[in-house]
């Protein structure tokens, strides 16, 4: 799929209201990480931020937030949400397979963005996540479980994720993944991964 196709595809979902992933509020996954103090104020990136409820919550809690999305409507909506609440974050319209940063982040909050990509792009995306994250930085991952072929959204089988986010580069949380219901009727498996120092 070309760059313009991807933008058009996601933008048309926003324009037609075909956004079945949208909770209309912050995910309980992020609220749990904040309540448990697994996530405390730091520089944090949200790739594929959608309408940005998590961007607003983190900005409100004192995080230095950068968020990217390919869909112009999503960018407009998250900027509007921040303005409405008098909050500040850096919002960037970009394709995350191309976006680079000179200043890696302490943490990344990834909520059902990898499932938006076809599996042939997953290796490139995992490399991007490493390039955006400081050594010892934390990835808060929310892997969508569709248990179905095809997509998007594509099924992020945990065995496949363990191979992709391999122990050469990532340390997986010892705790079993937490289950979070998804508005589509499916569910996410949530885990924390540490970017190993190479
Ligand atoms: C399934 S939605 C999840 C949105 C948000 N994280 C949430 O949970 O509400 C995937 C998001 O990724 C964005 N997206 C898809 N492909 C992208 C790409 N290549 N670069 C940047 N954003 C992308 C879409 O526009 C969409 O907002």
Task: Please state, in angstroms and rounded to a whole number, the distance separating the CA atoms of residues 41 and 2.
Answer: 36
10, 26, 96, best to mutate for ligand 1 pocket (most atoms within 8 Å of CB): 10
Please give the structure tokens belonging to residue 170.
């990532």
Please give the structure tokens belonging to residue 158.
């945990």
CATH, range 27-150+161-195: 3.40.50.150
With 0.85 as the threshold, say if the pTM is over it. Answer: yes
For the beta carbon of residue 174, count every other beta carbon within 10 angstroms. Answer: 6
Per-residue CA distances from 87 to 79, 91, 125, 182, 185 (Å): 9, 12, 29, 26, 31
Q: How far is the CA of 116 from the centre of ligand 1 (A)?
A: 6
Q: Ligand 1 pocket by C-beta < 6 Å: which residues?
A: 6, 10, 21-22, 48-50, 68-71, 74, 95-97, 111-113, 116, 153
Q: How far is the CA of 45 from the centre of ligand 1 (A)?
A: 13
Spell out the domain ranges in the chain.
27-150+161-195
Model pLDDT, residue 197: 84
Task: Please state, in angstroms and rounded to a whole number, the distance separating the CA atoms of residues 107 and 164.
Answer: 19
DSSP output for 127-195? HHHHHHEEEEEEEEEEEEE--SSS-SSPP--HHHHHHHS-TTTEEE-SSPPEEEE-TTS-EEEEEEEEE
State yes or no: pLDDT of 1 exceeds 80.
no
Share of the chain above pLDDT 90, in %: 96
Least Cα distance to 65 among 36, 115, 21, 30 occurs for: 30
Using 50, 70 and 90 to split pLDDT, how confident is the model at 113?
very high
- Residue nearest atom 13 in ligand 1 by C-alpha distance: 48
4-39: pLDDT as tens digits? 599 999 999 999 999 999 999 999 999 999 999 999
Share of the chain above pLDDT 70, in %: 98
5, 9, 20, 50, best to mutate for ligand 1 pocket (most atoms within 8 Å of CB): 50
46-63: pLDDT as tens digits? 999 999 999 999 999 999
């Amino acid at each position: 799929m070309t760059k313009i196709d991807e933008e058009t595809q996601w933008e048309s979902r926003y324009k037609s209201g075909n956004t079945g992933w949208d909770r209309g509020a912050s995910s309980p996954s992020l609220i749990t990480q904040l309540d448990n103090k697994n996530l405390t104020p730091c520089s944090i990136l949200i790739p594929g931020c959608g309408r940005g409820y998590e961007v607003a919550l983190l900005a409100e809690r004192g995080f230095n937030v950068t968020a990217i999305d390919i869909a112009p409507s999503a960018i407009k909506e998250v900027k509007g949400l921040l303005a409405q609440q008098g909050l500040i974050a850096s919002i960037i319209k970009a394709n995350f397979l191309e976006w680079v940063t000179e200043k890696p982040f302490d943490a990344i909050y990834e909520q059902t963005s990898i499932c938006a990509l076809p599996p042939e792009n997953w290796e490139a995306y995992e490399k991007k996540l490493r390039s955006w994250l400081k050594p010892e930085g934390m990835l808060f991952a929310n892997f969508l479980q569709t248990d179905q072929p095809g997509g998007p959204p594509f099924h992020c089988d945990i065995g496949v994720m363990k191979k992709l986010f391999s122990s050469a580069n990532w340390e997986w949380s010892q705790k079993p993944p937490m289950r979070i219901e998804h508005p589509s009727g499916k569910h996410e498996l949530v885990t924390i991964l540490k970017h190993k120092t190479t």
